[in-house]
Homo-oligomer: A and B are copies of this chain.
Amino acid sequence: MINKLVDKIKKTNAPVVVGLDPMMSYIPEHITKKAFDEFGETLEGAAEAIWQYNKGIIDNTYDLIPAVKPQIAMYEQFGVPGLVAFDKTVKYAKEKDLVVIGDVKRGDIGSTSAAYATGHLGKVQVGSKKYSLFDEDFATVNPYLGTDGIKPFIDVCKEENKGLFILVKTSNPSSGEFQDRLIDGRPLYEWVGEKVAKWGEEHMGNDYSYIGAVVGATYPEMGKVLRKVMPKSYILVPGYGAQGGTADGLKPYFNEDGLGAIVNSSRGIICAYKQDKYAKFGSLNYADASRQAVIDMIEDINSIF
């Protein structure tokens, strides 16, 4: 799957992933109204609105980009109906041949991580049958529990030809509270990055490992160090745009081959029609605004090379 991701990045010339993190306040009124007319102001109504909103964005951007990254929390907050919308979104994006990164940030002790890995990347046994579940191509994972919380994910990735992005240095303002603390003179995120590189050796693709890392766009100096610590790990870079990361700051996340990083934008793309810059599209054409925002983002990022 890392090979597919790299191929698609080369083909689209777009080291870009669109974060499908829908909030009700982002969804144009015509979509919400139609969903509520059909299902009422219910969780099912909200889930239908989310799904239709996502579908519009996927339909209008899938030919430009290699991957999407649905953030499961935005669906989980609508309970079971929300997770049905997550499931539909993942499956639809895969039908459009997009690589799907499930932003689930799971992580637990061994047997429990194994269950999460099954649910998100693997197949579950029921009697004599096997079923795929959410079936993302990649999942994000939290490293706080150490190797035996990560290993079961890697095992499933090997079986299923899938991959991970492990949190190393997150994009949020307080990420330094623990991640930046010095251990034997080096910050925790570097120690985590070293482990990611080591875990990655276990499951290599052609040029890059199936085991990647998350490093926020908001910390380019740290990105520079981590790029060297994990030369074979793809870096998923959140925090561009709405969170304050700039294209200039992205250069250190890439290797000299122009590969090695994929930059996420969520709000900046899916809610583009609410920005002054794209207001001319209007809410009815929100997905066209998203398409233009993707085009502009690709150009912005390619300007650094």
A-side residues, CB < 8 A to B, are: 21, 24, 32, 36, 41-43, 45-46, 71, 73-74, 76-80, 82-84, 87, 105-110, 112-113, 115-116, 118-120, 124-129, 131, 133-134, 142-149, 167, 170-179, 181-184, 188, 191-192, 195, 238
Contacts and interface: CB of A to CB of B under 8 A. Distances in A.
Contact of A79 (B105, B133, B149, B195): B133
A175 B145 contact: yes
Contacts of A125: 24
Contacts of A238: 109
Number of copies: 2
Nearest to A192: B178
Contact of A77 (B73, B76, B133, B179): B133
Nearest to A44: B126
A124 B167 contact: no
B133 A78 contact: yes
Given A115-B73, A147-B174, A80 B79 contact: no
B77 A119 contact: yes
Contact of A183 (B87, B133, B182): B182
A41 B144 CA distance: 36
A201 B175 CA distance: 21
A172 B188 contact: no
A235 to B, nearest CB: 17
A41 B126 contact: yes
Nearest to A183: B181
A115 B25 CA distance: 13
A134 B146 CA distance: 28
A81 B49 CA distance: 21
Nearest to A84: B80
Contacts of A174: 145-149
Given A21-B112, A43-B124, A142-B144, 10 more contacts: A71-B112, A74-B112, A76-B115, A77-B115, A105-B107, A105-B142, A109-B170, A110-B172, A146-B179, A148-B173
Contacts of A46: 124, 126
Contacts of A192: 178
A145 B172 CA distance: 7
B87 A79 contact: yes
Most chain B CB inside 10 Å of its own CB: which residue of A112, A120, A134:
A112
